[in-house]
Structure 1
Amino acid sequence: MTRGPTIADADAERDPARHDVAADHPHGEPVQPHWRRPDPGLVGVALLALVAAGAVLVVNAAHNQGRIVPPLDDVYIHLQYARQIGLGEFLRYQEGAPRTTGASSLLYVLLLGAASVVVPSGLLLYAAVAFGVVCFVATVVLVALLGRELASRTTGLVAAGLTALCGPLLWGVTSGMEVGLAAALAAATLYAFVREQPTARFRLTPLLAVPLVLTRPEGLVLVVAIVVGAAVTLYRRRPAGIVGDAVLLALPLLAALAQTLLYRLLTGSAENSGVTAKSWFSRPLGSPLEVADRIADTARTLLELIGGVSSVQVAGPGVALLAALGLAWLAFAAGRRVVAGVVALGLAGVLLAVSTLQTALWHDGRYLQPFLPVVLLLAVLGVCAVARAARDARTGRVLGVGLVGVLTAFALVSTPTWALRQGEQAAGIRESAVSVAQWIRGNTPPDAVVAVNDVGAVAWFSDRRVVDLVGLTTPGFARPALDGSGALYEVLAHLPPEQRPTHFSIFDETALLPVGELQGAQLLGDEPLTSFDLKSPVRDGGPFGGICQTAGGCSVISVWRADWSHVGSGDLPDYAVPGRIVDRVNVGDLADEAAHGYGVDRALVGVSDRSEVRTQRETGRVVVDSGRHVVGGEHFVLRGLTPGRPVTLTGRVDAREPVRDRNTSAGVVSVAADGRGVGDWEFGTVVPGFPPGSEHAWAQSSFTIPAEAVTAPELTVTLGPQRPFLAPYPDYRSFSYWASQ
């Protein structure tokens, strides 16, 4: 069977760009040309990328009265950090604020910070967008060069063309975020590795890898795979010189370590606050198996979307299968097995790393966008593999051209959709975050401190101090925001009075964060100062899904004047307790819970115990307290006790269930002191002023731990089911426990 040329080797004659110039010299010495005519193919794909990016920006401007508006609020976070860097305030989100790591890309904000020195603030967004477009054009050219190096000139140009028409990548590189920079550096680093791997002399690869690890955390994952591949190559081919080269290859890893140490030195934490606020590991899921399940489910969804299984709007139909075939073809190509391993390990690692974020599907897959060019190149290599496997040359050409035609057709159809999506989302940001920020600037005093759930536009436009309830730019809020409204209330209540917000600008309702529930904490006034009833229609969230203010899910944003008059109202019991109070466990306050070794012992995996905040009127006063929904039991450590004396444990607990619920054990727990059972405690259910059987009201009750069980100043108390393992389980909401003697 004879095989003819295919898409992979349609230019089987030597590529002029790779011509062996040594043959032009009679003695075999290379002739260095003074000038080389630009490759028309590279020029063509570069122009295609420029036109496609320009078209997206035109659509954006058409939706925003002639102005470019970013499609997400996070862009303004980068701009704000950059402006502060230009003013000499490195990692300070605002003047006088503590240093924080809310910008997800250190290198990107440094570059924007340098630009802010010469570019006026009003034009910094345009500079960021222009930089992203330049990086996008460079990425497309690098994909063409990488494809030529791995297969042929035609392969590279086809992959570059598909990259230039990649809708989600165009969305990202024109958004004002670091997507373009990360994509260009990822492609450049891979290209350098592919070029240097046959010679086992890695000089340019580690130098390009350094900025990549400083641009995105996912870049570090790809760099680790490249370093592993380079180390394997060195070990096999140049054992004598491996030490010197290994030192050079360690540079990007040292850069990542240096960034971590810098964060630790300047902020007191080595963590990136964005990762902390978005990671599944930060959420109170209660079980490592639940975390693993969320990560696996996210990875599966991402793979389906990118691979063209559940959506063809990202990279076209069947891209996952074609990319897998491309990897297999690359693995069996002469001398490319290590390259195939590096690409496979790198992409799998990036997918896994992104899947650890609960926001992995937000922002139209922003974290994965920089790596889409590599996926598309693999898909084109997969087309090559299919064409080569054909029974004859003509069939191979038909298959190759046909598959490329299908991918191109879907790209041409979906790219306008992505441009439209960005324009609509930008209009949503303009109507919500930007408009609210401008109102705050004109209607609040200059010394106002505004608590927000979207910190970018408010800080950029309003010229007011902000408290970031999400925790990206304000330390100490990331984990409380994820834990629930009770924890969020407590961290706000414990702020020094001079740092407390004077105003709140928050969504009335959102499933993302419990900011709307703060109204139940009496922190807000009776009526908002103003409410923005957004007119943007509910929009298509895209295959990845959008955020609520761009998709129309957060329809009302209100600005409130803060009310701190009820803070501390829940510190004491509602009624007198016997003896002297020696300790209190404030359920829902993360700091206090940690100090008391508090934890919920879930009877069932998957039942949420997120904190909540509640206001209740007791004995003529307003009482605000945080708590948790407990299904199973709790444990905590009481401190400051006098041994040999009984302890009265008083609880503020809502143990009443609806009348229709027949679980008569809902408010009865078995009490153990230091592991020894000391009796059953039936929480109170009668609340003065509340009708019997009504819901959502706590009651106060007490239980006495006998003196013989108190043998030390500290005592571990465990509350749990009377019948461990078997239902019915205790089901109640606990708010506070006091120990008195």
Structure 2
Amino acid sequence: MTTVEDERARGDRARPDGVRGPRTSIPPGPEARGRWSWSRSDPAAWGLAALSLVVAVGFLLANAAYNQGRFSPPLDDVYIHLQYARQIGLGEFLRYQDGAPVTTGASSLLYVLVLGVAAALGATGGSLLYAALALGVACTVLTTVLTYHLGRTIASRTVGVVAGLLTALCGPLQWGALSGMEVGLVAALATGMVLAFVHEQPGGRFRLTVLLGVLLTLTRPEGLVLTVAVLVGAAVTLVQRRRRGVPTGRADVLTVTLLTLPLIAALAQRLLYRSLTGSAENNGVVAKSWLYQPLDSTIEVLDRVVTGAREAIATYGGLTGVPVVAPGTLVLAALGTVALVVDRPRHRTLAGVLVLGLGGIVLAVATLITTLWHNGRYVTPFLPLVLVLVVLGVRFLARAMPRHGRGAGAALVGVLVLVAVLTLPTWALRSAQQGAGIREASVSVAQWLRGNTPPGSVIAVNDVGATAYFGERPVVDLVGLTTNGLADAANEGTGALYEALSRLPADRRPAYFAVFPSFNGVSFGDMSEAGVLAEEPLTTFQTRSPVRDVALGGVCQASGGCSETDVWAADWSVVGSGDAPDRPVPGRVVDHVDVGDPLDEDAHGYGVDRALVGLVPMTILRGEDRPDGRRMVDSGREIVGGEHFTVRGLTPGVPVTLTARVEAREPLVDRNTQAGVVAVGVDGRPAGEWAFTTDDRAWTQDSFVVPGEMVTGTELTVSLGPRQPYLQPYPDYRSFSYWVSQ
């Protein structure tokens, strides 16, 4: 049995020039005319919409049933969006809290603007969350219907029905769309844009395609990648029309102009961020991208990106045991792409668009440390496009088997649907359990802070959503999403974060920390030992929700990765205590290099010369009680190899004394590795060896004198490194400060 769409497809293949219009007596359908023509009484579309709605409501009910009758978002990031939206509703555009600077911690500008409209219309508190969930339900239903129409348009009604069915039953997509995040909106816009491209391609006028591309670009960075791929496809289409001799005129000029709008929107967003914050980059990218980590090695960054891409392809290609998609999804999607290429000449452009777009999305997401965190929410919005290719791949296989193709195709479709049905409850349970983890950790901590800290107390957090939304206290985001300038510092480790916090005005420094014991190389136990935090937490929250999703990255509070949240009191009386040397130095101090403070390091051209590239010299924080009772706190770095810096304010011809605060501890008991002995260079010339005093208990203060004849100007570039380059033993010590005196 054949469908009208199948007959039309055979007619199209008979046209060597690729021009629409079959040679059969069947009248051209809506795709051939390049116009939208959807029947309101299409039972397949309504049936799929109803199924998607039932599944979505089931997800919400399962979450609520698991959380004592209340829906609990499975991500703390949901509350970040809600907080920005609440502020937008109050007229505070991108101000996370009243009076705070503008920040770019929301990963989706358009999404928070939409929720901001809901807040302005009166949605507050829990009702704003339910407005986000209602939007998610609407978007997942719309995505299902759009997927059906996409499959129907490029192939047949059967392909559309199966693709829509798999979308409605797609657990990862339902989890993301119903989490309160922007996943559903991205999915609807992405699927709609590709469908609009397919419909508008025959006429060469990409009006709706451009509009949806602009919206998608403003919704997620990955959306820009897919939009660019579609724009390339549109440009290719216009070139092909010209080569075929299709008359062109003002319409094509207008179309080309319109195709630049998504790119202009992307540029405008970056210019807006730059004008409001001084940085064109979104804070989330700075905090999460491998490109902003202190790796200092192109091949190290490339390795991590390639690894992330490989893991994403394996997970979303059905090559692992993680229940995201059916086994063999990657193979079927590849066959579906081949089917597009060989089916109709015009669909070759669509195949290129999907390969370029989906491949680019994988690479873009792979640049993030969080590639598959949060159950892969950066990738899941684009699963409907993959599912369309999967169904096309099944049809391609069925057609390759003339005798048994129909039965084999039906059996394979049955397996795909069965896998989706069987994994759907698992994803609903994930949402429920992860929501329990968030309410145990983030929400519970926020409520405790509101009732147990003085009003107006500044709270430092590493999960900034619920604390700001419920805690009614000003917050400092240690990750740097909603507090400008802290993302780079947090990437460098404990010492750099301390220095950045100490540089804040006194009334903006956090009085309390509500944090995991550690995150991204930052240790709050070290802060406590140094004296910045109290000796013991005021209270500790332990999550009891079952451990889930370790293989997929899951959600930290519900996967066992950060089951403890501690609340500490802070003591900032130690700020500046480490600026002066422990003992007097000869002469007058003319310069000071504060190792571990990235701003001061940059001012002195400081850098670590690693003996091994893979060893990241993270910043550390230490404190000591001096004999006079003072508590001294200083930041530093772990050095394996050497370091260099430039000092200024010197008098030429006068000897320079370098005084160092270091920890040179022998790594092995009763072994003399001489790890604290370095070769000193001055302006590229050898100046001798410097042996730091070793001490098993504390840092030490040591000096080295640069002869006056080597001081030829007001500046010196000093290098400390191995006495024997390339080979062990390497210098291995902790560097804190250098004072320069004459």
Residue type of the partner of 1:706? P
- The residue aligned with 1:691 is none
- The residue aligned with 1:376 is 387
Residue type of the partner of 2:241? R
- The residue aligned with 1:231 is 235
Residue type of the partner of 2:219? T
Alignment of 1:610-629 (within 5 A): 610-620=618-628, 621-629=630-638
Q: Which moved more, 1:196-205 or 1:432-441?
A: 196-205
Q: Secondary structure at the match of 1:123?
A: helix
CA distance in 2, matches of 1:197, 1:191: 10
Q: Secondary structure at the match of 1:364?
A: helix
Q: 1:569 aligns with which of 572, 577, 592?
A: 577
TM-score (norm: length of structure 2): 0.93
Question: Does the alignment pair 1:47 with 2:50?
Answer: yes
Deviation at 1:35, TM superposition (A): 11
Change over 3 Å in CA distance of 1:672–1:333 after alignment to 2: same
Q: Which moved more, 1:614-623 or 1:297-306?
A: 614-623
Q: Secondary structure at the match of 2:376?
A: coil
1:296-315 deviation line (CA, Å, top 9, x unaligned): 00110111100010135111
Q: Secondary structure at the match of 2:193?
A: helix
Aligned residue-pair number: 720
- The residue aligned with 1:728 is 729
- The residue aligned with 1:558 is 566
Deviation at 1:360, TM superposition (A): 1.1
- The residue aligned with 2:18 is none
Deviation at 1:185, TM superposition (A): 0.2
Change over 3 Å in CA distance of 1:616–1:36 after alignment to 2: closer
The answer (yes or no) to whether the contact 1:6–1:396 under 8 Å persists in 2 is no
Deviation at 1:34, TM superposition (A): 12
The answer (yes or no) to whether the contact 1:578–1:740 under 8 Å persists in 2 is yes
CA distance in 1, matches of 2:711, 2:686: 13
CA distance in 2, matches of 1:642, 1:129: 68
CA distance in 2, matches of 1:636, 1:661: 33
- The residue aligned with 1:420 is 429
Deviation at 1:377, TM superposition (A): 1.0
- The residue aligned with 1:586 is 594
Question: Does the alignment pair 1:352 with 2:363?
Answer: yes
Alignment of 1:672-691 (within 5 A): 672-686=681-695
Q: 1:214 aligns with which of 211, 218, 222?
A: 218
Deviation at 1:509, TM superposition (A): 4.4
**Structure 1, unpaired ranges of 5+:** 687-693
Question: Does the alignment pair 1:298 with 2:301?
Answer: no
Q: Which moved more, 1:676-685 or 1:213-222?
A: 676-685
- The residue aligned with 1:271 is 281
The answer (yes or no) to whether the contact 1:489–1:521 under 8 Å persists in 2 is no
The answer (yes or no) to whether the contact 1:11–1:154 under 8 Å persists in 2 is no
**Structure 2, unpaired ranges of 5+:** 12-20
Q: Which moved more, 1:396-405 or 1:182-191?
A: 396-405
1:106-150 deviation line (CA, Å, top 9, x unaligned): 000000000001223330001101101101100000000000111
Q: Which moved more, 1:677-686 or 1:217-226?
A: 677-686
CA distance in 2, matches of 1:421, 1:485: 33
The answer (yes or no) to whether the contact 1:200–1:238 under 8 Å persists in 2 is no
CA distance in 2, matches of 1:34, 1:47: 21
Alignment of 1:14-29 (within 5 A): none
Alignment of 1:658-737 (within 5 A): 658-660=667-669, 662=671, 664-686=673-695, 694=696, 697-737=698-738
Question: Does the alignment pair 1:501 with 2:504?
Answer: no
Q: Secondary structure at the match of 1:198?
A: coil
- The residue aligned with 1:387 is 398
CA distance in 2, matches of 1:194, 1:433: 44
1:21-60 deviation line (CA, Å, top 9, x unaligned): x9899xxxx9x99995511111111111111111111110
Q: Secondary structure at the match of 1:627?
A: strand
The answer (yes or no) to whether the contact 2:36–2:199 under 8 Å persists in 1 is no
Residue type of the partner of 2:223? G
Question: Does the alignment pair 1:311 with 2:350?
Answer: no
- The residue aligned with 2:79 is 76
Question: Does the alignment pair 1:178 with 2:182?
Answer: yes
Change over 3 Å in CA distance of 1:598–1:76 after alignment to 2: same
1:289-338 deviation line (CA, Å, top 9, x unaligned): 10100010011011110001013511110001111111111112212111
CA distance in 2, matches of 1:320, 1:371: 14
Question: Does the alignment pair 1:341 with 2:352?
Answer: yes
Q: 1:261 aligns with which of 271, 275, 295?
A: 271
Alignment of 1:588-603 (within 5 A): 588-603=596-611
Question: Does the alignment pair 1:158 with 2:158?
Answer: no
- The residue aligned with 1:690 is none
The answer (yes or no) to whether the contact 2:493–2:520 under 8 Å persists in 1 is no
1:678-729 deviation line (CA, Å, top 9, x unaligned): 111111114xxxxxxx25x211111111112111211111111111111111
Q: Secondary structure at the match of 1:168?
A: helix
Residue type of the partner of 1:615? G
Change over 3 Å in CA distance of 1:626–1:547 after alignment to 2: farther
- The residue aligned with 1:433 is 442
The answer (yes or no) to whether the contact 1:185–1:211 under 8 Å persists in 2 is yes
Q: Which moved more, 1:632-641 or 1:345-354?
A: 632-641
Residue type of the partner of 1:114? V
CA distance in 1, matches of 2:731, 2:141: 61
Tell me the C-alpha RMSD between the 2 structures. 2.5
Alignment of 1:81-160 (within 5 A): 81-118=84-121, 119-160=123-164
- The residue aligned with 1:365 is 376
Change over 3 Å in CA distance of 1:360–1:614 after alignment to 2: same
CA distance in 1, matches of 2:202, 2:271: 35
CA distance in 2, matches of 1:665, 1:331: 66
Change over 3 Å in CA distance of 1:653–1:34 after alignment to 2: closer
- The residue aligned with 2:15 is none
Q: Secondary structure at the match of 1:738?
A: strand
